[in-house]
């Protein structure tokens, strides 16, 4: 679950909408080139990096339709031109592979679980923080809970191992108390709870930022008027605060649904071996293990392409539904 990416929200695809300047069509191309060449030069490095490291790989998806053999040439490009085209063969293999469907099921199960047990938490926390009277206390709590967002997954899992692992503090305490210690870190049955707990620890605080921003835009007079009409604190929460947050909640839900097939790559790759493939293989780790780790590139590319296409379809569908419900969604037809 990517934390910061969601903050861009409402204005992402048309951030310049309010500041539109009348376009000057009169100026001929050469003149505009002379006027704007410095701007174009500034954009060039970023353009090049995206071209090489984003667009070229996206185009490279075509190897999903190849029997790509890395040993057919001296470099990936030569191997690409020498490999045979086999159409949808890789996809057929993929859909016949029970391991793929295991990974698919695990991914959806984890997404659904986190939608129920993780998604509402930042909203609740934001409402609670927003209602703190002392701004110094609020600032302190915010500083502390944002921090784990900046830790790598290796670090987060290291902390969990230190606390809950076989040699961790929990097991140590239980052993001293004469109990049979748990090792939560290697138990496939509770893995889904563990990864959700890790995700919560890492990102629940960070997730509040966007809700806090939305809360600060709610008109205070609404609360006063509601209170004058006799609405208690819970009614005000239900009729003012939550409706005020609704556009953001819908937006984040859409983004989450679009990401339904990616649940966080590093987290699972790091724990896959400790817990076992049955519980911890998700689509992303499947792609990794069946391509780069084993050299079967075409197969992995097919799995990755499948995931990307489904994700794109999901996000477009979710956005359409949001429009039908009268919400703005991530983008709207302007």
Partner 1 sequence: MTVSIRRPSGARARRPAWEEPPTPVGQGLKAVLLTLLVLGVLFPLWVVLVTSLSSRQTIADAGGLVVVPKGIDTSAYQTILAGGAVTRALWISTLVTVCGTLVALTVTVLAAYGLSRPGSLGHRWLLAYFLIPFLVYPPLVPRYLVVTGLGLKDTIWALVLPPAISVFNLVVVRGFFQGIPQELLDSARIDGASDFRTLGRIVLPLSRAVIAVVGLFYAVSYWNVWFDALLFIDRNDMYPIQRVLQSYLLAGQAPHTAGGTTGVSMPPTEAIKMAVVVLTVAPIVAVYPFVQRHFIKGVLIGAVKG
- Among residues 40, 242, 317, 325, the one that binds partner 1 under rule CB under 8 A: 40
In sequence order, what DSSP letters do the residues of 199-215 get, joined into one string? HHHHHHHHHHHHHHHHH
Tell me: does residue 81 bind partner 1 (CB under 8 A): no
Q: Interface with partner 1 includes 11 (CB under 8 A)?
A: yes
Is 189 a binder of partner 1 (CB under 8 A)?
no
For partner 1, which is the closer residue by CB, 20 or 333? 20
Return phi, psi of residue 67, to 5°: -95, 75
Smallest distance, partner 1 to C-beta of residue 309, A: 10
Please, what is the Cα angle at 258 between 252 and 263, to 5 degrees? 90
Pick from 195, 284, 318, 322: which binds partner 1 (CB under 8 A)?
A: 284
Non-local CB neighbours of 328 within 8 Å, separated by 6+ positions: 10, 247, 251, 322
Please, which residue, 43 or 242, has the CB nearer to partner 1? 43
Tell me the window of 90-98, 108-116, 136-144, 320-328 that interacts with partner 1 (CB under 8 A). 136-144
Q: Which is nearer to partner 1, 47 or 101 (CB)?
A: 47
Site for partner 1 in 156-175 (CB under 8 A): 157-159, 161-163, 165, 167-169, 172, 175
**83-91, 109-117, 297-305, 320-328 -> range binding partner 1 (CB under 8 A):** 297-305
Contact 73, 81 (CB under 8 A): yes
| Residue among 204, 172, 171, 208 at smallest CA distance from 186 | 171
Residue 60's closest CA among 75, 46, 80? 80
How many Å apart are CA 290 and CA 280, to the nearest integer? 15
77 binds partner 1 (CB under 8 A): yes
Q: Where are the alpha helices (DSSP H) in the chain?
A: 29-50, 56-59, 76-82, 89-95, 98-117, 120-130, 135-146, 153-164, 169-176, 191-216, 220-228, 233-236, 242-258, 265-275, 277-280, 283-289, 297-324
- Minimum CB–partner distance for residue 197 and partner 1 (Å): 10
Closer residue to partner 1 (CB): 192 or 198: 198
Contacts within 8 Å (CB) and 24+ apart, 15-23? 17/334
Tokens of 217: 């835009």
CB of 71 to partner 1, least distance (A): 13
Residue 260 vs 315, nearer CB to partner 1 = 315
When binding is defined by CB under 8 A, the residue of 39, 116, 177, 324 that contacts partner 1 is 39
By CB under 8 A, tell whether 87 contacts partner 1.
no
**Count, residues near partner 1 per rule CB under 8 A:** 124
SS3 288: helix
Q: Shortest distance, CB of residue 113 to partner 1, whole angstroms? A: 20
Q: Which is nearer to partner 1, 168 or 329 (CB)?
A: 168
Please tell me whether residue 121 binds partner 1 under the rule CB under 8 A.
no
Residues in 217-246 at the binding interface with partner 1, rule: CB under 8 A: 217, 220, 223-224, 227-228, 232-233
Q: Which of 94, 103, 123, 209 touches partner 1 by CB under 8 A?
A: 209
Among 26, 81, 135, 324, binds partner 1 (CB under 8 A): 135
User: Which residues, 6 or more positions from 133, have their beta carbon under 8 angstroms from its beta carbon?
Assistant: none
């Amino acid at each position: 679950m990517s934390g910061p990416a969601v903050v861009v929200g409402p204005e992402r695809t048309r951030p310049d909408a309010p500041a539109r300047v009348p376009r000057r069509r009169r100026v001929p191309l050469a003149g505009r080139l002379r006027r704007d060449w410095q701007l174009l030069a500034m954009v060039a490095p970023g353009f090049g990096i995206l071209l090489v490291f984003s667009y070229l790989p996206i185009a490279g998806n075509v190897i999903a339709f190849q029997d790509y053999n890395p040993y057919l040439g001296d470099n990936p490009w030569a191997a690409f031109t020498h490999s045979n085209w086999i159409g949808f063969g890789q996809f057929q293999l993929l859909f016949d592979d029970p391991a793929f469907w295991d990974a698919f099921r695990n991914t959806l199960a984890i997404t659904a679980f986190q939608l129920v047990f993780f998604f509402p938490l930042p909203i609740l926390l934001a409402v609670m923080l927003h209602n703190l009277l002392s701004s110094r206390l609020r600032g302190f709590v915010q500083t502390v809970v944002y921090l784990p967002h900046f830790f790598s997954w290796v670090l987060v899992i290291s902390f969990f191992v230190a606390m809950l692992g076989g040699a961790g503090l929990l097991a140590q305490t239980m052993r001293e108390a004469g109990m049979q210690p748990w090792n939560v870190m290697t138990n496939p049955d509770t893995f889904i709870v563990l990864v959700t707990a890790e995700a919560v620890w890492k990102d629940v605080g960070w997730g509040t930022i966007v809700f806090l921003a939305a809360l600060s835009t709610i008109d205070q007079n609404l609360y006063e008027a509601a209170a004058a009409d006799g609405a208690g604190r819970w009614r005000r929460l239900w009729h003012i605060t939550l409706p005020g947050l609704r556009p953001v909640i819908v937006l984040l839900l859409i983004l989450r649904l679009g990401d339904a097939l990616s649940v966080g790559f590093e987290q699972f790759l790091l724990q896959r071996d400790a817990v076992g493939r049955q519980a911890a293989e998700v689509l992303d780790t499947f792609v990794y293990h069946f391509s780069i780790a084993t050299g079967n590139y075409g197969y992995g590319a097919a799995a990755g392409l499948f995931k990307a296409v489904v994700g794109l379809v999901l996000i477009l569908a979710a956005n359409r539904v949001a429009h039908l419900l009268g919400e703005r969604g991530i983008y709207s037809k302007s």
